[in-house]
Amino acid sequence: MLSIEDKELLHQKGITEQQISDQLDCFKKGFPYLKLKSAASVNNGVLCPTTEECAQYIKMWDAYIESGKKICKFVPASGAASRMFKNMFEFLDAPYEVPTTDFEKSFFEQIENFAFYNDLNVCCQANEGMDIQSLLKAGRYKDIVANMLQTKGLNYGQLPKGLLKFHSYNDGARTPLEEHLVEVALYASSNGVADIHFTVSHEHNELFQELLREVLNRYEQHFHLTFNVTFSEQKASTDTLAVTMDNEPFRDQGKLLFRPGGHGALIENLNDLSSDVIFIKNIDNVVPDRLKDATVTYKKVLAGILVNLQQQIFDYLKLLDEGRYSHADVENIIRFVQQQLYCRHEDIKDLEDAELVIYLKKKLNRPIRVCGMVKNVGEPGGGPFLAYNTDGSVSLQILESSQIDAKNPEYMAMFNQGTHFNPVDLVCGVKDYKGNSFHLPDYVDHNTGFISYKSKNGKELKALELPGLWNGAMSDWNTIFVEVPLATFNPVKTENDLLREQHQ
DSSP string, 13-25: HT--HHHHHHHHH
Distances (CA, A) of 90 to 142, 157, 455, 456: 11, 12, 20, 21
Distances (CA, A) of 56 to 66, 80, 190, 370, 480: 16, 41, 19, 16, 17
> Is the predicted pLDDT of residue 489 greater than 90, yes or no?
yes
Which 8-state DSSP code applies to residue 85? T
Could you give the domains of the chain? 33-80+173-240+274-448+466-503 (3.90.550), 86-155 (no CATH)
Which amino acid, 343? C
Residues in the chain: 504
User: For residue 456, what is the enclosing H or E element?
Assistant: strand 450-456
* Displacement of CA 270 from its chain's centroid (Å): 11
**Under 8 Å between Cβ of 464 and 26:** yes
Helix (H, G, I), strand (E, B) or coil at 256: strand
**Under 8 Å between Cβ of 57 and 300:** yes
* Paired sense of beta strands 255-256 and 251-252, if any: antiparallel
pLDDT at 380: 65
Q: What is the pLDDT of residues 99-137, one digit of tens each?
A: 999 999 999 999 999 999 999 999 999 999 999 999 999
In sequence order, what are the residues at sequence separation of 6 or more whose Cβ sits closer than 8 angstroms to the Cβ of residue 143? 124, 128, 135
- Give the mean pLDDT of the chain: 94
pLDDT band at 339 (very low <50, low <70, confident <90, very high): very high
> Is the predicted pLDDT of residue 185 greater than 70, yes or no?
yes
* Phi, psi (rounded to 5 degrees) for 389: -100, 170
pTM of the model: 0.94
